A and B are shown apart, each in its own frame.
Chain A
Amino acid sequence: MRWLRDMWTKEGPGIAKDAAKKHGLALFAEIIRREWWEIVKLNLLFILASLPIVTIPAALAAMASVSVALVEDRNIYLGRDFWAAFRKYLWRATMAGFILSTAIALGVYATVTYASLATGALVFAVPLAISAAATVFICVFACHDLVLMVMRDLPLVQRVRLAALASLARPLPAIGAIGFVAALWLVHILLYPVSVFMPATLNFSLGMFAVTFGVHRAAVESLSRVTSMRTSRGGGAAAQNT
């Protein structure tokens, strides 16, 4: 039984304070390796919170809130933090979810329609390209909007503007994350029934973590711009007062 005890008590290699920080995919893999059990539990919480269906957007926001903490290497009390975020973002997320899912559905519908028309008349290739690009942009925008919503309480207009700017400034990581989510579901479909437990254990939470990881930097940069604008405005006002 010593091996069992050692599994818990054996000293590790230690973590150097000045160790080089990992970036990109290496960091992504490290967080998943470290937090995989939290991710599994997060997935179960999401499924539980999504059971009434209409609460899916709020559950997504709660999952994003926990994912941001994972990305930022902050402490979380999973259950407590998840439900607190679920309650906090219930209305905001539901509203945003309704609008954005409608927009994405319309975009997909338009793209599919123009694609079928384009096979008959090449002139429809232009609206097809526009609708496809618009749909991708709305998806990228939705990712940024969701993460910005859980990172800081901002007025709606400002949040939308920042999400749009972030989507334009750094669209590729978000597209990559969306691709990762698509790949997760593709793997589930291809390996079915071996992968029958994937959605129940990690597809939702791992997908949301990937999205959060992908858009986090753009969100931080947008928010820091807001902070610096406020600071300079405050500084200007102070200078005027003096």
Chain B
Amino acid sequence: MASISLKGLNKTYGPLTVVHDIDLEIADKEFIILVGPSGCGKSTTLRMIAGLDEISGGELRIGGDLVNDVPSKDRDIAMVFQNYALYPHMTVYKNMAFGLELRRAPRDLIDAQVTAAADILDISHLLNRKPKALSGGQRQRVALGRAMVRNPAVFLLDEPLSNLDAKLRGTMRTEIAKLHKRLSATFVYVTHDQVEAMTMADRIVVMKDGRIQQVDTPQQLYDRPVNIFVAGFIGAPPINLLPATIARRGEQFVAIFDGQELPLPSHYDKARIAAYEGREVVLGIRPENLHELPPADIPQQHLAPIAAIADLAEPMGSEVHLNVTAGGRNLIARLSPRFRARIGSEVRLIADTSQVQLFDKDTERSIHH
């Protein structure tokens, strides 16, 4: 069992607190990703789990055992670093075998483990080469292999793909996800790349300023963000955040933005929304919920027109990202590549309001979740 439990975990440097009382339960064999902007405390949290940074307060348990004061080498974990941290004077084989050598493992076992890991990672042909001859992707595989040979209960990966080019990152993402399935170990992965987080994780931990904002599955994070930060952080292009005022229209509520009424979905908690009647809120609409034509599969009552001025069209091949201005705000819409807008002229977009998000303007928290 390699479940990880963080209870009130914090990290301080003198008067400065960089991780604030984090509570997190990571299940055995789970692939969990800590994501957030630079300086949010995700790497520090990982390093505390690894035992590379001292824990200032709180409890850290691995497999049920309190490990606050257990040295890193005795925690049954392996860490993969962003800069690979390979020993340049050693061959790939020796880099991978080093951890087992230190533990005085028998040579046959070392050989078997290194060979097996190299086969899995497809680096058998590199075993007798030194890191200076290897490309970034190959170095990263070696770093993964070095972690694998020890057969640890927990893998800690600190932005392992950040130094790779975009194409290779895509390939390695898939390989790490496959590796997790194959090894059946607990993976804790740190990244600032939301695409990595969304595509690989069982659950994502979104962090900001040393605090956890939300812990959820990728889809739930996308569909039900708990605050404006999470809504804005997850999703590319980012969610459109618009100032709107809540008003009642009979039994229904609408959000009024730039004089246009956007009906709110009937399944939202009316009692909660009623509390905001007449008040300004922040309305979140994902770019894919803005359409050039009314979609046939969405009921008419969830559709509302938005008049805007086209500023810039970014053709992406499979879609066009249309930047528009409406009510003095910049919006982005993901439209069909066949859509042609005249820049500077008015366009009429159709908003699908069944998926809109509502946030309290002051607390920035979601109103309806």
Contacts and interface: CB of A to CB of B under 8 A. Distances in A.
A242 interface: no
Given A12-B133, A14-B137, A75 B94 contact: yes
Interface stretch (A3-11, A89-97, A141-149, A182-190): A3-11
B125 interface: yes
Please classify how large the interface on chain B is, using the bins under 10, 10 to 19, 20 to 34, 35 or more. 20 to 34
B133 A15 contact: yes
B133 A75 contact: no
A12 B125 contact: no
A12 B135 contact: yes
A206 B219 CA distance: 62
Contacts, number: 40
Contacts of B139: 11
Nearest to A21: B125
A44 B65 CA distance: 50
A15 B134 contact: yes
Given A8-B132, A75-B93, A75-B94, A15 B125 contact: yes
Most buried by A among B122, B125, B126: B125
Interface in A1-41: 7-15, 17, 34
B12 interface: no
A153 interface: no
B132 A13 contact: no
Given A17-B122, A75-B93, A75-B94, A12 B134 contact: yes
Contacts of A15: 125-126, 129, 133-135, 138
A11 to B, nearest CB: 5
A8 to B, nearest CB: 4
B126 A11 contact: no
A5 B155 CA distance: 28
Contacts of A12: 131-135
Given A11-B136, A11-B139, A17-B122, A74 B128 contact: yes
A14 B134 contact: yes
B323 interface: no
Contacts of B133: 12-15
Interface residues of A, number: 15
Given A75-B93, A75-B94, A9 B83 contact: yes
Contacts of A17: 122, 125
A34 B93 CA distance: 15
B91 interface: yes
A32 B351 CA distance: 68
Contact of B134 (A7, A8, A11, A34): A11
A10 B134 CA distance: 9
Nearest to B133: A12
A15 B91 CA distance: 14
A11 B135 contact: yes
Contact of A73 (B88, B128, B135): B128
B93 A14 contact: no
A75 B125 contact: no
B127 interface: yes
Contacts of A10: 132
Contacts of B132: 7-8, 10, 12
Nearest to B85: A9
Contacts of A73: 128
A35 B117 CA distance: 24
Contacts of B129: 15, 34
A34 B129 CA distance: 8
B224 to A, nearest CB: 41
Nearest to B135: A14
Nearest to B87: A8
A10 B138 CA distance: 13
Interface string B134-150: 11111100000000000
B137 A75 contact: no
A9 B88 contact: yes
Nearest to A70: B128
Nearest to A18: B125
A12 B94 CA distance: 18
A17 B93 CA distance: 16
A131 to B, nearest CB: 43
A150 to B, nearest CB: 18
Interface string B82-119: 01000010010110000000000000000000000000
Nearest to A16: B125
A17 B137 CA distance: 13
Contacts of A8: 88, 132
Interface in A52-109: 73-75, 77
A14 B128 CA distance: 13
A10 B131 CA distance: 9
A149 B325 CA distance: 82
B261 to A, nearest CB: 56
Contact of A14 (B83, B122, B138): B138
B239 to A, nearest CB: 36
Contacts of B128: 73-75
Given A8-B88, A12-B135, 11 more contacts: A8-B132, A10-B132, A11-B139, A12-B133, A12-B134, A13-B133, A14-B135, A15-B125, A15-B129, A17-B122, A75-B91
24 contacts: A8-B88, A9-B88, A10-B132, A11-B134, A11-B135, A12-B131, A12-B134, A12-B135, A13-B133, A14-B133, A14-B134, A14-B138, A15-B125, A15-B129, A15-B133, A15-B134, A15-B138, A17-B125, A34-B129, A74-B128, A75-B91, A75-B93, A75-B128, A77-B94
